[in-house]
């Protein structure tokens, strides 16, 4: 029997914590890291007699995202109560949006390999976060910290449009970049400001109806999303190929064991007994607010990437990589300005040596010990032939370690390129004189030895001789 070919189907639900200063329905602070239960007010606790009031800033942020993904902004949307019992949900319900969300029918462009794909965004809705249960700090007990209760979230739900873990990660990264460009979410995944539930199913290739899915909850790194999805794909295919069926359920990913485990069987919407929250008026958004928000939109990643291609002559790939984050894009442009050098050279250094060094030390671009002026200064010296590209790597490392500008490092370490032909010729004479056996072989036709002589000259100058000049002068000398 021919082995069955499977198609993977993935849809993501992403929770982005909105970067408002106060909560979505109260004036309590949203600052991270406060002592437990010091930032939950009577409204967040749902004490009797309180009334929620919607945070205008959270609405503007939802509109921003909606415009950035070319979605429809609902003129009228409704807040609903989603009822369930859990220790970290003191009200017994979460205020969310259900039937009428604020944002609908958007799209996001992703690059995977050298292909481009458009992923549909079904909806984005506003809701409040719950508190946190703390299991680690107490033996045999669970602590409850309600500081997070009432923190505004935007839940962004994709269409089941992704066909591999790599596409899912590309989508999540693109959305992550977008919320940071828009400054509506700090994107801090370790603190849980940007987290993902991954819905995964498989079906025989060619089948048009969807297979039964599982939902893996609370994935808070790109790596975990990729691993959890790949684990699920394999698990489901193994199950189906051995004659079993996939249970529709909610699962948890264990990063220590790299596996997902069942958490609970999937609840249906009617388990939540959704109904419109009687304490909140429908959210009405008029055209003038939408236009106002539209005018505040910054240049977005796709626009920036297109501009980098036309203005700096970069490839689609380079432009997409550099516009991954606004900070990286700004760093690149500042380097081009500071260096007055070839944009391609700047791009190579920002994506190459700089990115590698940041990676090595676990730093973000904002924490880079070298700023764009420093890097630009180094690239200027490559461009004007003060140093070779190879020596530049050495200068870069010294700049990084010693936090000094390029010119100072080049001067102090005596790394200036030797371009003076008289000086180079003198060294060539010495090298040739010291290697008579190789000279004889070369003259009798062993032309490969030319490289040997170049190497010796470079060595004698500690790599500082201008390589083009060395080649030219050696050729003259040896063909004489």
Q: Which strands make up the sheet holding 72-73, listed edge to edge?
A: 72-73, 103-112, 115-128, 152-158, 6-17, 194-204, 214-219, 249-254, 259-265
Burial class (CB in 10 A: 0-12, 13-18, 19+), 447: exposed
> CB-wise, 157 or 165, nearer to ligand ADP?
157
> CB-wise, 82 or 374, nearer to ligand ADP?
82
How does DSSP assign 261-319, residue by residue?
EEEEEPPPGGGG--EE-TTS--EE--HHHHHHHHHH----HHHHHHHHHHHH---HHHH
> CB-wise, 263 or 355, nearer to ligand ADP?
263
DSSP 71: P
Torsion of Cα atoms, 202 then 207 then 211 then 215, to 10°: 50
The rounded distance, in Å, linking the Cα atoms of 174 and 196 is: 13
> CB-wise, 224 or 453, nearer to ligand ADP?
224
> CB-wise, 157 or 225, nearer to ligand ADP?
157
Partners of 153 in beta bridges = 17, 127
Phi then psi for residue 55, to 5 deg, are: -80, 115
The rounded distance, in Å, linking the Cα atoms of 405 and 379 is: 11
Q: Give me 168's structure tokens.
A: 């899912």
Nearest residue to ligand ADP on Cβ basis? 11
Question: Least Å distance between CB 88 and ligand ADP?
Answer: 19
> CB-wise, 215 or 299, nearer to ligand ADP?
215
Closest by CA to 399, choosing from 362, 422, 373, 435, is: 373
- Indicate the helix (H) or strand (E) that contains 327: helix 326-339
The strand pair at 283-284 and 249-254 is best described as unpaired
The rounded distance, in Å, linking the Cα atoms of 473 and 466 is: 11
- Strand intervals (E) in 138-269: 143-145, 152-158, 194-204, 214-219, 249-254, 259-265
Strand, coil or helix: 233:
helix
> CB-wise, 220 or 348, nearer to ligand ADP?
220
Strand, coil or helix: 405:
coil
Q: Is 70 left (phi over 0), alpha (psi -120 to 50) or beta?
A: left
The strand pair at 283-284 and 76-77 is best described as antiparallel
Residues in contact with ligand ADP by CB under 6 A are 9-13, 157-160, 199-201, 210-211, 213, 215
Question: Least Å distance between CB 264 and ligand ADP?
Answer: 13
> CB-wise, 86 or 361, nearer to ligand ADP?
86
Q: Quick one: CA dihedral 192, 196, 197, 198, positive or negative?
A: negative
Question: Least Å distance between CB 97 and ligand ADP?
Answer: 12
The rounded distance, in Å, linking the Cα atoms of 123 and 102 is: 8
Phi then psi for residue 393, to 5 deg, are: -65, -40
The rounded distance, in Å, linking the Cα atoms of 283 and 101 is: 10
> CB-wise, 147 or 201, nearer to ligand ADP?
201
């Amino acid at each position: 029997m021919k082995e069955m070919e499977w198609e993977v189907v993935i849809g993501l639900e992403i929770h982005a914590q909105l970067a408002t200063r106060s909560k979505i329905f109260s004036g309590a602070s949203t600052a991270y890291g406060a002592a437990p239960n010091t930032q939950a007010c009577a409204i967040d606790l749902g004490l009797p007699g309180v009334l929620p009031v919607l945070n205008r800033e959270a609405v503007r942020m939802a509109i921003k995202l909606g415009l950035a993904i070319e979605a429809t902004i609902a003129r009228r949307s409704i807040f609903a109560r989603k009822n369930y019992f859990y220790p970290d949900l003191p009200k017994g319900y979460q205020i969310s949006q259900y039937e009428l969300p604020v944002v609908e029918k958007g799209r996001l462009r992703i690059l995977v390999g050298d292909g481009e794909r458009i992923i549909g965004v079904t909806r984005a809705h506003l809701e409040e976060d719950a508190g946190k249960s703390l299991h680690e700090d107490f033996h045999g007990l669970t602590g409850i910290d309600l500081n997070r209760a009432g923190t505004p979230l935007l839940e962004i739900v994709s269409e089941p449009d992704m066909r591999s873990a790599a596409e899912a990660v590309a989508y999540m990264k693109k959305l992550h970049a977008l919320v940071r460009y828009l400054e509506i979410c700090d994107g801090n995944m370790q603190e849980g400001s940007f987290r993902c539930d991954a819905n995964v199913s498989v079906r025989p290739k060619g089948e048009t109806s969807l297979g039964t899915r599982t939902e893996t909850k609370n994935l808070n790194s790109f790596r975990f999303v990729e691993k959890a999805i790949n684990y699920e794909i394999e698990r489901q295919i193994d199950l189906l190929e051995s004659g079993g069926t996939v249970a529709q359920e909610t699962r948890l990913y264990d990063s220590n064991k790299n596996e997902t485990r069942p958490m609970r069987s999937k609840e249906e919407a009617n388990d939540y007994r959704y109904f419109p929250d009687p304490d909140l008026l429908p959210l009405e958004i008029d055209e003038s607010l939408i236009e106002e928000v539209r005018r505040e939109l910054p240049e977005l990643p796709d626009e920036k990437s297109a501009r980098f291609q036309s203005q700096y002559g970069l490839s689609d790939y380079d432009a997409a990589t550099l516009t991954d984050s606004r900070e990286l894009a700004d760093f690149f442009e500042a380097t081009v300005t500071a260096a007055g050098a070839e944009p391609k050279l700047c791009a190579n250094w920002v994506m190459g040596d700089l990115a590698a060094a940041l990676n090595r030390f676990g730093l973000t671009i904002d924490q880079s010990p070298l700023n764009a002026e420093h890097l630009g200064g180094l690239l200027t010296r490559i461009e004007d032939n003060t140093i070779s590209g190879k020596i530049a790597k050495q200068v870069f490392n010294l700049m990084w370690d010693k936090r000094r500008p390029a010119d100072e490092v080049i001067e102090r370490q005596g790394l200036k390129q030797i371009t003076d032909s008289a000086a180079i010729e003198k060294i060539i004479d010495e090298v040739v004189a010291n290697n008579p056996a190789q000279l004889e072989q070369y003259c009798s036709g062993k032309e490969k030895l030319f490289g040997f002589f170049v190497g010796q000259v470079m060595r004698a100058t500690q790599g500082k001789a201008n390589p083009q000049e060395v080649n030219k002068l050696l050729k003259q000398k040896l063909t004489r």
